[in-house]
Amino acid sequence: MIAADGRGSAARKWTAFALCEQNNDYYMAGVLLTNVHASTDTMYAVFNPELGMWAALIPQAGDQSRAYFVYPKTMGYRLQGESMLSLFVRESAKAYPPIADYCADGKSIGPLASFDVSDTWVEHPYRDGLAMLRQLLTQPTARGFLSLYAVRACFATN
């Protein structure tokens, strides 16, 4: 049986795999925008180490852009919902000032959402005929990718 239910896996809890954790003190927020005044053939991704912030603007098809912002949890807010779009743009501009102009007329066409970028995984995502597929693909070491091949081989032989 293969369980592949992604980030925050409930299947991982149900099957009692031993959980490893890496806490990171950041949130990542993202939103799909239209009416962005930036080059449509350039992706912007800027890390500001003095502030511990990262901002990105990625052009998409159809006059759309994806905007992302990584910021410390200590900022005291959680960027969620359309009402926080102007704060999202202002704060992103702290990491990369031109974003303020690029997104001045931007309209959200998808939800503004953020998530904790801490990670959890299991060291050995296969046992007793159960494979945790997401875990195989996202373990923080190359061993995760090697494990994927081991599971493929196991399924091929069984």
Fold (topology level) of 26-116 = Alpha-Beta Plaits (3.30.70)
Question: Which pLDDT belongs to residue 81?
Answer: 95
Contact 113, 99 (CB under 8 A): no
Residues of the chain with CATH 3.30.70.2450: 26-116
Question: Which pLDDT belongs to residue 64?
Answer: 96
pLDDT in tens, the chain (158 residues): 666 566 666 776 777 777 788 888 999 999 999 999 999 999 999 999 999 999 999 999 999 999 999 999 999 999 999 999 999 999 999 999 999 999 999 999 999 999 998 887 777 777 777 777 654 444 444 444 444 444 444 444 44
Contact 47, 96 (CB under 8 A): no
Question: Which pLDDT belongs to residue 101?
Answer: 97
Long-range contacts of 121-124 (CB under 8 A, 24+ apart): 121/19, 121/20, 122/12, 122/17, 122/18, 122/19, 122/20, 123/18, 123/20, 124/17, 124/18
Question: Which pLDDT belongs to residue 4?
Answer: 59
109 vs 12, 68, 72, 90, 122, CA distance in Å?
A: 33, 14, 25, 18, 36
The model's pTM:
0.74
145 CB-near residues (< 8 Å, 6+ apart): 136, 137, 139
